[in-house]
Chain A
Amino acid sequence: MEHPDWLWRTPEPRRSYDVIIVGAGGHGLATAYYLARNHGITNVAVLEKGWLAGGNMARNTTIIRSNYLWDESAAIYEHALKLWEGLQEDLEYDFLFSQRGVLNLAHTLQDVREGTRRVNANRLNGIDGEWLTPDEVAKVCPIVDVSPDVRYPVLGGTWQPRAGIAKHDYVAWAFARKADRYGVDLIQGCEVTGFITDGDRVTGVRTNRGPIHAGRIGLAAAGHTSVLASTLGIRLPLQSHPLQALVSELLEPVHPTVVMSNHVHVYVSQAHKGELVMGAGIDSYNSYGQRGSVHVIEQQMAAALELFPIFANAHLIRTWGGIVDVTPDASPIIGRTPVENLFVNCGWGTGGFKATPGVGWVFAHTLAHGEPHALNEPFTLERFTTGALIDEHGAAAVAH
């Protein structure tokens, strides 16, 4: 594939914008793009303290799927998946979107119940999904060890054929390029340190490059969203943890799909160039340090070899850590805050990449209209006080 000749400008911040988005990750960039494309709002700045898309967007394992259990989740992720399906054309960028399917393996009877439940729910929601027997699992991914004499035999799995992967960096660059072309200012090295307020509404941000005023402000700064919100006295229910991932060297094609297993904790795909891309478990402690503990990697390797004995001689080339911001119900918060003109998009935990276009779409709508889109209506901050939770870790227990 060829990258385009031109990606983005490096503009100086102006004194004020209609909308400021804090955080130039995938979500922030997608939001800026859809603000311009869907709502004609182009007097927009995306402020990034580091380099563009250098946080979790650069650190995830690029899995895209929509086979979530609850209606609310299924709706927003399926909306995202439908956008993914036309996004390369829309953004005029080949970001290596590959619908190679995602397999979620079951290793216990309870895994089987949950998998069956989820497939049934997905189908009734119009989302593709099938239950596969161990033999069918082996047909989809011949290198999975489905023999019965292992510690946790594969009892079956759910299969979403439309799921897949995309090259995360290119996705971010594709959104950035289009947003830039619409006139959105992408400002790197610009750290937001606080807010400018007028009574109980925000009117701008303070940054290391001076104050910048805005009509509306959307926070899309992952775990740091809670740090920023706390400067206004808003306590967001987010816990930030390190989550590590790793890659192997380039290898001839050996793994045709994406395999995830919760019980034998593995999620792995093979990138276009040939690396095995694999996610590890979450470090249990809270941290903003983008690195984790090595025993987590060791456990990950052991789990990978349980399911994929053929990986034994592959090499670990690089490990890294991202920060996942997790809410009590493992679902995101997208919408209003108690402060007028301030909106948040956070709490995506391990699942944010796959939602990128979908959340950009609805967060742009939220910022444009000052009220949520139907798809993010359920994902309010208030649900933690009303109890109307969308409990994805309790129910589906499917991380990532």
Chain B
Amino acid sequence: MRLPEGGEIDRTKPLTFTLDGVEYSGFEGDTLASAMIANGVLQVAPSLYRHRPRGIFSAGIEEPNALVQVGPEPSLQATTVRLTDGLVARTLSGVGRLTPDSGQRRYDKRYTHTDVLVIGAGPAGRMAATTAAAGGARVMLVGLSYPSGNVRFRGSPQGIPPADGAAELRVLSGARAFGYYDSNYVLVAHQQTLWHVRARRVILATGAHEQPIVFENNDRPGIMLAGAVRKYITNYAVLPGRKAVVFTTNDSAYATVAALVQSGAEVTVVDSRPNPPDLAPQGVEVISGLITNTDGPERLTAVSTQDRRIECDLLAVSGGWQPAVHLFSQSRGTLRWNGQAFVPDTPAQANHVVGAANGTFDTRAALIEATEAGVEAAAAVGYPVPPPPLPAVREREITPASPVWLVPGDPRNQFVDLQRDATVADIRRAVGAGMRSPEHVKRYTTIGTGTDQGRTSNVPALGVIAAELGVTPGDLGTTTFRAPSVPVSFALMAGRDRGKLHDPIRTTPIHSWHVAHGAEFENVGHWKRPWFYPKPGEDMETAVLRECRAARTGVAMQDASTLGKIEVVGADAGEFLNRMYTNGFKKLPVGSARYGMMCKADGMVFDDGVTMRLADDRYYVTTTTGGAANVLDWFEEWSQTEWPELDVRFTSVTEQWSTIAVVGPQSRAVIGLVAPDLDVSNEAFPFMTFRETTLVNGIPARIARISFSGELAYEVNVSGWYGLAAWNAIHDEGKPYDITPYGTETMHVLRAEKGFPIVGQDTDGTVTPHDLGMSWIVSRQKDFVGKRSLRRPDTARPDRKHLVGLLPVDPAELLPEGAQMVASDAPLTPPVPMEGHVTSSYRSAVLERTFALALIKNGRHRIGETLLAPLGDRVIAATVTEPVFYDKEGARRDG
């Protein structure tokens, strides 16, 4: 019920909300839980496994019971959901529901540096932050709530200057710090923004969590943490029960007693200590004893002590306080058992823990700690401040607490983890089965694995385990604390990296032309590459056959700008490339180009491409489209870690250059028109050379005679800025020759007809240059990465898998890429010995039939043999051939 006055709610702003289909009202400033209590709704959905009635248990992030689904978002704690008008919620029995999220919320990330990060905006956190900020240091204060106070302390401390006073103090309120990584790297969830904060100093003022006491039937609706009861009364002006029992092991619950009395509730106190305070003058009976059991049809109606039964509708429990050490522990600080709780011991990073988080529960002592930490942090980051005056705080006398983990009773109904429905009986069963490690018991019972991160179950569980084993909780130690310390949504972690922004799309400067001309695209690495250009009415096969014919009989052009390009510069550039490639580049003349192949240290083909020598100390290396970044990394690794003495540097120039391949018997004519200053005769401009020239439209260009199709072909390289203009110029000049744009599929067919492998398609990391039939490219003189491996007995075997051709016996039948080939006499019952697999397979316009490339065991010595591809419902027979199908003599290259 709502009290007539008090609280921090705004009674002028009523809000309506719907819970489990029933409409209620609350006020601005309510949480869903406080509004529920105001409406007399304390009970939530039944428990996960035992289906027992459960109620709101806490008033914060430690809530185990009151889980709700709010719209599409599952598993929120009603105690932390801020009430909004029209909110629709459903209580959950521990299990959420995912629904398609139509109105997708946008999440974002921010990255910031700060001198001092203070986590926790209670009195200690605020004191530390204002102290640290007073000298001008950049300070960030992150708290669950601000400025509303931390109810745990008796009498709010006075005199902390307003946090907003300091110029460089930034406050994130309603924010949850949930991850503490190396080098003071802290993650904070603030509404729909994920903050990445790097701080020079961190001050942890994360407070403490009140612990329950385990007794029989300790899970009824109406049983709550004592601090929560007080918070509901003082912050939200709601009274969870009129006839209350307070069960405590320590002094802190007496503030709850006072709040209850002040609100007009009838109160009885059960204190575990032998000499509890005397509250007779206030009309409160205090019993020294223990609650042993509770009663009620569903909601609590009575509790029992050892010798009494007390009618009540609310039981407020305080089993002491466990410092919130999640973040400190995540930062790898060590913990120490002080007889009542685990408290921070040795920090592993530049941080301080202050106040209740440090086990310092006296307000005055906590503020002194906070002040000292603030002064120390300010000095450490170079903005020293004098110690500020301490606010006036009442000093209190404290009666020592007397921790109780477990009150004897029926262990099957003594709940240790309310969310996971785990009991003392479950713990005893685990220990009885032989388990000794809390990690085992946790996994066996699932205690501490819920969304509340075990805030009200981990320590009681350790208390129970320790009692079973006859040791202390300190002997056992805690299980490991891991991020996130509070749940965060997947969407928050993903941020904007979704949809089109999931992975960058790379396009060439010519991309708009491809789109305008109807290209179908293929994803290659990050790139969108034209796959083929269907004309109206054409399917892929028809389009590709047309493009191939154009390249073999006329002229065709391809955007090859996605090729990786690396400039390798320095006096030792040639020596370096000699060591990287299986063939030599040191003696390559300036003005010439050479195809090269690279192996990993295991001797297996890694990448290939053509390299031009621009000057004595300058090479222009091209790589495969997908391999560019890996090759650059590979160069850097060898240069930096193995051969730092070599004078060589690498610069990725992939995006600085556009490359256009012009291919086919008519390509010379087209290039002659495009580059009018260039003598394109074979004698003046031979194969594997390049020339610098100016295109017809004034664009400077580097044109090379390189062929990946076996045809007469050129590659026109221009600055990326001019890529589209160069493409248009070539296309215009090529019109009289019906120049045909082609995509990656045609490129693949053309090279396969010549038996040129594609690294990554015809190789898979297990193929040597020799396996590809390319022994000619492996230098016998110089050393290179992978050379030694090529001499290993298995790698040097002559009967390894070789790249060969396959011609299906039926020339119309296409072998699927990825088909496994078996011997023609192999029995087709598993396991069937496999001879190898089809790596590439196409229909060829020029061969007027299908053909394929394959890696086949001992293939080069099996030319002419027929192999079978068993494909489930059918078998395709194919003959092993040489891998070169077209122009074996290489006559077409010079036109």
CA distance A115 to B865 in the complex (A): 27
| Chain A residues in 8 Å Cβ range of B480 | 320
Are the CB atoms of B482 and A5 closer together than 8 Å?
no
CA distance A264 to B493 in the complex (A): 16
B334 shortest CB reach to chain A, Å:
15
**CB-nearest residue of chain A relative to B178?**
A316
| Chain B residues in 8 Å Cβ range of A125 | 830-832
Are the CB atoms of A151 and B505 closer together than 8 Å?
yes
| Chain A residues in 8 Å Cβ range of B443 | 58, 169
Is A233 an interface residue, CB under 8 A from the partner?
A: no
Are the CB atoms of A313 and B101 closer together than 8 Å?
yes
Q: Choose from B433, B440, B831 the contact partner of A71 (Cβ within 8 Å).
A: B831
Is B100 an interface residue, CB under 8 A from the partner?
A: yes
| Chain B residues in 8 Å Cβ range of A54 | 437, 439
Question: Which of A114, A121, A299, A315 has its CB near the most chain B CB atoms (within 10 A)?
Answer: A315
* Known A126-B830, A151-B503: A305·B494 in contact at CB below 8 Å: yes
* Known A151-B503, A387-B795, A391-B765: A71·B834 in contact at CB below 8 Å: yes
Residues 107-139 of B at the A interface (beta carbon under 8 Å):
none
Q: Choose from B94, B434, B490 the contact partner of A10 (Cβ within 8 Å).
A: B434
Residues 297-334 of A at the B interface (beta carbon under 8 Å):
297-299, 301-306, 309-320, 328-329
| Chain B residues in 8 Å Cβ range of A302 | 493-495, 497-498, 502
Are the CB atoms of B74 and A387 closer together than 8 Å?
no
Mask of B775-797 contacts with A, CB within 8 angstroms, 1/0 = 00000000000000100111110
Q: Choose from B187, B499, B818 the contact partner of A115 (Cβ within 8 Å).
A: B818
Q: Choose from B185, B432, B494, B818 the contact partner of A298 (Cβ within 8 Å).
A: B494
**CB-nearest residue of chain A relative to B438?**
A51
CA distance A250 to B449 in the complex (A): 10
Q: Choose from A6, A123, A251, A304 the contact partner of B95 (Cβ within 8 Å).
A: A251
| Chain B residues in 8 Å Cβ range of A248 | 490
B107 shortest CB reach to chain A, Å:
9
Is A254 an interface residue, CB under 8 A from the partner?
A: yes
Are the CB atoms of B432 and A297 closer together than 8 Å?
no
Are the CB atoms of B765 and A314 closer together than 8 Å?
no
Interface residues on A, range: 35 or more
| Chain B residues in 8 Å Cβ range of A120 | 818-820, 837, 870-871
Are the CB atoms of A7 and B765 closer together than 8 Å?
no
| Chain A residues in 8 Å Cβ range of B789 | 387
**CB-nearest residue of chain A relative to B436?**
A10
B51 shortest CB reach to chain A, Å:
15
**CB-nearest residue of chain A relative to B526?**
A151
Residues 64-123 of B at the A interface (beta carbon under 8 Å):
72-75, 94-101, 104
**CB-nearest residue of chain A relative to B194?**
A298
Are the CB atoms of A319 and B523 closer together than 8 Å?
no
Are the CB atoms of A52 and B482 closer together than 8 Å?
no
Is B143 an interface residue, CB under 8 A from the partner?
A: no
B477 shortest CB reach to chain A, Å:
11
| Chain A residues in 8 Å Cβ range of B100 | 309-310
Is B817 an interface residue, CB under 8 A from the partner?
A: yes
Are the CB atoms of B491 and A313 closer together than 8 Å?
yes
CA distance A243 to B818 in the complex (A): 31
| Chain A residues in 8 Å Cβ range of B792 | 385-387
Is A393 an interface residue, CB under 8 A from the partner?
A: yes
Mask of A269-288 contacts with B, CB within 8 angstroms, 1/0 = 00001100000000000000
| Chain B residues in 8 Å Cβ range of A127 | 830
Are the CB atoms of B820 and A314 closer together than 8 Å?
no
| Chain A residues in 8 Å Cβ range of B822 | 124
Q: Choose from A116, A254, A294, A320 the contact partner of B187 (Cβ within 8 Å).
A: A294
| Chain A residues in 8 Å Cβ range of B487 | 249, 315-317
CA distance A306 to B443 in the complex (A): 31
Question: Which of A115, A249, A303, A391 has its CB near the most chain B CB atoms (within 10 A)?
Answer: A249
CA distance A383 to B794 in the complex (A): 9
* Known A110-B760, A124-B834: A7·B434 in contact at CB below 8 Å: yes
**CB-nearest residue of chain A relative to B430?**
A3
* Known A314-B74, A315-B487: A293·B872 in contact at CB below 8 Å: no
Are the CB atoms of B101 and A312 closer together than 8 Å?
yes
**CB-nearest residue of chain B relative to A116?**
B818
| Chain B residues in 8 Å Cβ range of A274 | 95
Is B692 an interface residue, CB under 8 A from the partner?
A: no
| Chain B residues in 8 Å Cβ range of A317 | 449-451, 453, 484, 487
CA distance A291 to B185 in the complex (A): 14
| Chain B residues in 8 Å Cβ range of A182 | none
Is B886 an interface residue, CB under 8 A from the partner?
A: no
Are the CB atoms of B96 and A250 closer together than 8 Å?
yes
Q: Choose from B449, B489, B793 the contact partner of A312 (Cβ within 8 Å).
A: B489
Is B545 an interface residue, CB under 8 A from the partner?
A: no
Residues 221-276 of A at the B interface (beta carbon under 8 Å):
248-252, 254, 264, 273-274
CA distance A375 to B446 in the complex (A): 37
* Known A117-B818, A250-B94, A294-B179: A301·B493 in contact at CB below 8 Å: yes
B575 shortest CB reach to chain A, Å:
27
| Chain A residues in 8 Å Cβ range of B830 | 123-127
Is B148 an interface residue, CB under 8 A from the partner?
A: no
Q: Choose from A291, A315, A386 the contact partner of B488 (Cβ within 8 Å).
A: A315
| Chain B residues in 8 Å Cβ range of A180 | 434
* Known A124-B834, A394-B764: A294·B483 in contact at CB below 8 Å: yes
**CB-nearest residue of chain B relative to A176?**
B434
Is B435 an interface residue, CB under 8 A from the partner?
A: yes
CA distance A9 to B777 in the complex (A): 64
Is B212 an interface residue, CB under 8 A from the partner?
A: no
CA distance A273 to B482 in the complex (A): 20
Is A374 an interface residue, CB under 8 A from the partner?
A: no
Mask of B471-490 contacts with A, CB within 8 angstroms, 1/0 = 00000000010111001111
Is B500 an interface residue, CB under 8 A from the partner?
A: yes
Is A107 an interface residue, CB under 8 A from the partner?
A: yes
CA distance A389 to B789 in the complex (A): 11
CA distance A114 to B794 in the complex (A): 24
Is B643 an interface residue, CB under 8 A from the partner?
A: no
CA distance A137 to B489 in the complex (A): 26
Is B429 an interface residue, CB under 8 A from the partner?
A: yes
* Known A251-B95, A391-B766: A313·B820 in contact at CB below 8 Å: no
Residues 5-32 of B at the A interface (beta carbon under 8 Å):
none
Is B181 an interface residue, CB under 8 A from the partner?
A: yes
CA distance A294 to B495 in the complex (A): 13
**CB-nearest residue of chain A relative to B101?**
A312
Q: Choose from A107, A249, A294 the contact partner of B74 (Cβ within 8 Å).
A: A249
CA distance A315 to B96 in the complex (A): 10
Residues 791-844 of B at the A interface (beta carbon under 8 Å):
792-796, 816-820, 822, 830-832, 834, 837, 839
A386 shortest CB reach to chain B, Å:
5
A52 shortest CB reach to chain B, Å:
7
Are the CB atoms of B494 and A301 closer together than 8 Å?
yes
| Chain B residues in 8 Å Cβ range of A123 | 830, 872
CA distance A301 to B107 in the complex (A): 13
Is A188 an interface residue, CB under 8 A from the partner?
A: yes
CA distance A180 to B765 in the complex (A): 44
List 9 interface pairs A-B (beta carbons < 8 Å), by A numbering: A5-B433, A7-B434, A112-B817, A249-B487, A305-B494, A309-B101, A310-B98, A314-B490, A394-B765
Taking A7-B435, A302-B495, A317-B487 as known contacts, 20 extra A-B pairs with beta carbons closer than 8 A to each other, sorted by chain A number, are A7-B433, A7-B434, A113-B818, A115-B818, A120-B837, A124-B820, A124-B830, A248-B490, A249-B96, A252-B98, A274-B95, A301-B490, A302-B498, A306-B498, A306-B499, A315-B451, A320-B480, A386-B793, A387-B602, A395-B766
- Ranked 10 nearest A-B pairs via Cβ: A394-B765, A116-B818, A126-B830, A387-B792, A117-B818, A387-B795, A302-B497, A387-B794, A315-B487, A301-B493
Q: Using a CB–CB distance below 8 Å, which chain B residues touch chain A? A: 48, 72-75, 94-101, 104, 179, 181, 185, 187, 429-430, 432-437, 439-440, 443-444, 446, 449-451, 453, 480, 482-484, 487-491, 493-495, 497-500, 502-503, 505, 522-524, 602-604, 760-761, 764-766, 789, 792-796, 816-820, 822, 830-832, 834, 837, 839, 870-872
